[in-house]
Structure formats: structure tokens, C-alpha cells
Structure 1
Amino acid sequence: MSAPDQVRAWDPGVPGVREVLHARWADHHYPAHTHDAWTVLIVDDGRIGYDVDRHRDAATAGAGVTLLPPHVPHDGHPLTAAGFRKRVVYLETAALPERLIGRSVDAPLVLDDRLRAQVSVLDDALAAGERPAAESALAIVVERLEWHLTGHPTPRRAAPGQPAWLARRARDLLDADPIDPPSITEIARRLGVSPAYLIRVFTREFAIPPHRYVVGRPPRCRPSTAPRGAATGAGRRRDRLLRPGAPAPALPQAAADLSGSLRGGCRLRSVSYKTGEWVPKEHRLMDQPQPADQLTPPFATKVAVLVRDDLATWQRLNVTAFLAAGIAAAYPALVGAPYADADGGSYLPLLGMPVLVFEGGAHTLGNARTRAVGRGLPAAIFTQEMFGTGHDTANRAATAAVPADQLDLVGIAVHGPKNAVDKILKGAYLHR
């Protein structure tokens, strides 16, 4: 008996992307039809046969990327008894121009492992609701597709010093507005280069892509545009409100002072309208009622596990399993429905959203714990001593015997708003 069909489609809200589709079909034949968007398709299981403008071709699991052009008829059907599983990103013609349709009709299957990996990164970012990462990945994918569709042209050699200048200028533009920075596409337009090129030179210069630079940098206040000494009474109140250690003023004046654009400081903290106490931004996000369904992309929050990079493989797996269980226990709404196979067998539910696993040194883990505490996000931890214990009571006793700043951390996991989690994990890198 074949597995049941599964289809999920959504609009990720990323400029240039019309829709994302994840599908598993056992025996699905779709007749000839057209789209008004580009179809970028990778097959994860099985094999799909299709005709594009009367040219017969096939897409095989793990082999390249299929690019179906807009306005050109195509069909599709499984070529294996078990059907197929595919991931599709539909691109607007504003992202990939229609003038490239002809070459795509002639060769819809692009056998390029690098491109396939880039499309997978784009799909992962879209599924996780990571808009800045998705925008960066989209720029890279579009550039690679255009390179294939224009005959593999040799890139022009940059003038000496130009890449470093572009990277520094892009960083200055990002820093100019820490609250609402321009997109990498807008910065590239201002500088007269392609987004993909700008991402590459920025990453080469600063060892971090622009979207990670934005979420990982320390918050900085927007400089005041008022003349020196020209502060009004309201401006002086704002300065007093934002001075570290200053007591919160009586309400409702505090809420009124913080409701507009603040020239004298950053809108990084707010005042509780009930208590008049300072409340971190992440507290306000987590305390608000969450949507009934937190498990449908785009995700508003993120689950991340960080393990120490000198652990043995079995230790990394053990730590990750324990920490993911801690997140599931603390946030029951993140657990999906039970699983079932085609024969009626039932299985336990799992976390219903992606779990990103990172690695880093001992210093990185210590900083992550400190930042989580400072932002008020609960964290699950695993210490070196817990490898030598055999049950939960002993684990908790081993932890309780050590001061917080002396914990020998080998793993930490957090769940929270994506921006907050990214800042907590600053300095870590995705596990390989």
C-alpha cells in the first residue's frame, strides 16, 4: 500500500517568490498546463516524467534542478511505483526575466550540484520563515540560474579595491538605520551591483553574510538629527527615559513618550502599561497570545540547539536529543499531531517546526546562556557533568552544585522570536 498524498503550499511573503510547494504524491498525473511564474523544482524521492512544449524529459531524486518557464505548457507524472516527493519554489518574472524562457524550454533540467544545494538552502529559509536569509539565498539562486541560461558567461574582473569598498559601504548603509535597515536588494541597487555580487563581497570582507550581520550585531542607537543643544522638553524626557538605570516615569506619560520615533535613543525596551516597569522587547513578544497554529510556515519563532564543537559524535547526538525534549516539554504548542503509516500503524508526535542545530566553542555557549538570561528567554542546558550521571535527579543535582557563571556547558537550546534567537547564538555556526 502506497503512502498517502501530502501537499502543503504557502505564500512566504518574500519579494520575488510567488509560492512554495512541498508535495508527496503516490500516483498523481497532472495534465498539460501553464504558470505565469517560473517553476524551480528539486526532487527528493522518486522520479518525475514531464513534457515541456513537446520536449520529453525527467527529474530524478538528487539530480540537479528542473526549471520550467512561465507561459509554456508542461505536464507531469510519476515514473516509479512509489511516486515522488518534490519541493518547488515559484519565482516571479520580476526576479527571473521572461527573456530567458527560450533557453529554459530547450534544457529544463540543470545538472548543477551547487545550484541544487543553493535551491535547498532557499527552500529551507522559506520553510523556516527566515525572510532575510531567504532574500539572500534567492539572490544567489537567481544569479546562478541566469548564468546557466545565458551560456555561462565569464564574470567581469572587479577593479582593485572595489570589492572591499562595496562591502564597507554596504555595512555603513546597514548601520545607518539599525531599527529598519534597507534590504540587500535596495543596497545593491544604490551601489549599482547585483545583490548576489554584493552578498559575496560582503561575506568575503567580513566573514559573515549581510543578513546574519544585521541580526547578530549589537544594537546601536540611531544618531539624533536635532541640532546640539536644541532638545525640547519632550526630547529631554525621552533622554531621561532611556538613560540606563533611570526610574520608569508615571504612566500614561511613559507610553506616550515611547510611542513615536525616538531620536535620542533606541526603541529596544518598552514600559508595561499595567505596572510601569521596563519590559524587554522579547518579553513582550513571548507574553502576547500566540497564534492557534504555530506550526504552519512562515514561522514566527525559532527552535535552536547549540552544542560544543569538541564533543564526540555520540555526545552531540545525546545532547541534541535531551535539549530538543526540553523544548518540547516547555512548549507543548510546538508539538504536532501523532503520525500514522499507510497500514494504520500509529507513532508519537514530534516537534512540528524545524530545529536548527549549531556548534561553537565553550566561550560561545557561555555567551549564549548569558544572553538568553538577559533577554528573559528560558533555556534548556546540558553540562559536562551530566555525561557521568544516570538519571534526572542526579542531572539536576549536578547542575545545582555549580554557580551559573561556572557551568561547564556542552549544549544549550532556546525557543523564541527569530531575531532574539539569532542574537543569542551570535558567534555560533550551523552544524555540519
Structure 2
Amino acid sequence: MRTRPLKVALLGCGVVGSEVARIMTTHADDLTQRIGAPVELAGVAVRRPSKVREGIDPALITTDATALLERGDIDVVIEVIGGIEPARTLITTAFENGASVVSANKALLAQDGAALHAAAEKHGRDLYYEAAVAGAIPLVRPMRESLAGDKINRVMGIVNGTTNFILDKMDTTGAGYQEALDEATALGYAEADPTADVEGYDAAAKAAILAGIAFHTRVRLDDVYREGMTEVSASDFASAKRMGCTIKLLAILERAADGASVTARVHPAMIPLTHPLASVREAYNAVFVEAEAAGRLMFYGPGAGGSPTASAVLGDLVAVCRNKLAQATGPGESAYTQLPVSTMGEVVTRYHISLDVADKPGVLAQVATTFAEHGVSIDTVRQQGKDGEASLVVVTHRAPDAALTGTVEALRKLDTVRGVASIMRVEGE
């Protein structure tokens, strides 16, 4: 066993970074045995050096991350700063100075993953990022390595714990959106500004990363269709229950039937209670992978938080250190297919549409005609009326999303339609 330690620089020491440092210290002997050499925390770059960080030698703390990386003796850099800059520049600096990188930075990888992979390859270094997608759940490496010989056709999952907690509370307790969000905030599941979570930006970044791995093609954040969940209401859940469904914010990645293109999208959707994802509760994550030979696989576990995310970071650290000792690198970017990413309008899906209409003869026929004119077939219709007002709920058969969107726009223009109360896609059937 090698006795000279592998030196690790930690960029960021917040909730995740401090937990990474703690595990590196408390599990030092085990990590040494698993890697084949000791690992040493050689420096910790932070913005606020005056903050007390229990268990970390103050002598390791620095505000000059660039100087830390340019020392010349750093073997591995763990980046848990988040955001685009200075993380992007620091990761590139790490590669240029001979270090491999472990990152949890989903936003950066979704935006500039191709450039970072290219920089890693140029300098013969590793770029690992298991923690960027689903916390402690082993997902990136199984897709990138275990399923490397298979063909993945579809990935559908819950990849944001905050939104799943909110929707679960709305489903199980009857709470409204704001009430459920307030509870999530009080419990620490939601940030003071929850926009990245509830508007789907966080999930979209993860979707871009997973799509790139699954389909061996470059998918950027801008390629991912995104809808938030702030408009989901108690009445939507009531409608879902009548259909034997619940509502989840889903990341859905699909290869076209002819294999010529892929799609990536994030939006709330109704899914049947019989689907494995319907039973995912609280702040847990789960991802359902459909591969040609392996069939259907389910990955489930805690998708966020200091300890779960640190677990994924440490798993990558062990792998990267082993590669370093073997003078090898692990798998890099696989984007040989270069498949185009289709627009949302080309996706074939189903809609659940709730309309407020005038309660008088001929309304249903007028609505049905509008669907037919746009080439959309109706599966079921439910109507309730009282005092001249009526609620009309239509569930469609599968059709291109563009046709469904056009249908809804045409319905809004009908004199007999007072308003479109809600629109939601139906998935997982």
C-alpha cells in the first residue's frame, strides 16, 4: 500500500462541504483501505474565513481558491460551491494543474458539461459528478458504466425532494400549495427563495445531465422543456384521485421510436397510483430507467441534504483516487450519437383539461368539435353543472403536444368556455 497521501482540496464548506470534511476525517482509516493510500485534506477554500467550522483545522482554511489549486501537489479537487462562476474557472484551473475533479454542481454541468469534459480529457484527468443528480442515489455511475452495454430508451423520475415533499403533502393532507410550501420551508426542505425548485430549474439541470448520459448525446439546460408546479391546486389532486392517479413533478427523457432524436422535459403530471413513482413520499427521489436489455430499473433514496450528498461525493472520491493510483482515468463524456433534441411540440402525450363552461345545450358538442379539428381524440369526458355554470373535464388520447396546445388555445376563444381552469399532462400509463 502506498504511504504518501493523496491530497484533496475542498472548494466550499457549507452543508455538503462540511459533511464531506467530517466523513474524510472520521472514516480516514476505512478510506485508506478502500483506496489503497491515505487521503489528506490539504486545504479548504471558503468565502467567510471567520466562520467557525467544527472539526476542520483553521490552518487549512483559505479564501484564495486559485492559489490552493496552483500549489502543484493537489491530486483531487472536490467542488461543492455551486453556481457557474467561479466554479467553472476553478475546475478548469484544477485540470490545468494536474488534479482530477469531483463536483456536485448540476447547474454548471448542465450548461457547460461538454467543455468541462473536454478540459478533463485534454489534461488526462477525471470529472466525476454522482452528487449532481440525485443525492445519495447511485444513478450516474450505473447509467454511465453498468448500463454502458445496453440501450436506454426512457428515463422518468422525481429528482427534486422539495417539490416531491410539497406535492405529497397536498395529496395526503389536502393542503394547498402555499400551506405545503410553508411546511417545507419550516422543515428546511425548501430554501428561503424556492424558485429553483418549484419552477423546475433544479430538475431541468438534472434532466439535462441524465439525458446526455442515457442517450450519448449532448443535451444542455436550454434544450430541456420546463414547467413549474406553482399552479397545481387541490382541485387538480381531486381530479387525479378520481382517475386513480396522483401528481408528481417529473423529469422525462425519451428516445424517439425511430431512434433519430431525443426529448427532455420537466413538468407536473398525473401518474397512475399503480406506477412505482406514485408511492415516492416526502422528500425522497426516485428514477425509473427503461433499457432495451435490462428492462425496467428503479433507483430510490434520499435525493438531497448534507449527508446523502456527501455520501455520493465520497463515493466519487474513492473512485477517482483509485484511478489516480492506477494512473488511469474513468469514463468521460460519451456523445457519439449527436442526436437532435426535439421540441416539446413534437412529444406525444395525453392531457387532462378542466374547463369552466356555460351550462347549456350544445356546449359539449362544440368542445368535442374543437378537439376533432385539431386531430386530438377524446378518451373521457366528465361534466357537472349548476345555476348556468358547468365544469367540463376532458382526458385525451395520446397526441402531439403541439396539437394539444393548439386545442387549448382554440377552446379559450369559444364564447361558451368561460375559462381553462387547469391543464395537466398524464404520464406513466
Bigger RCO (CA 8 Å, 6+ sep): 2
Same fold? TM cut 0.5: no
TM-score (norm 1): 0.23
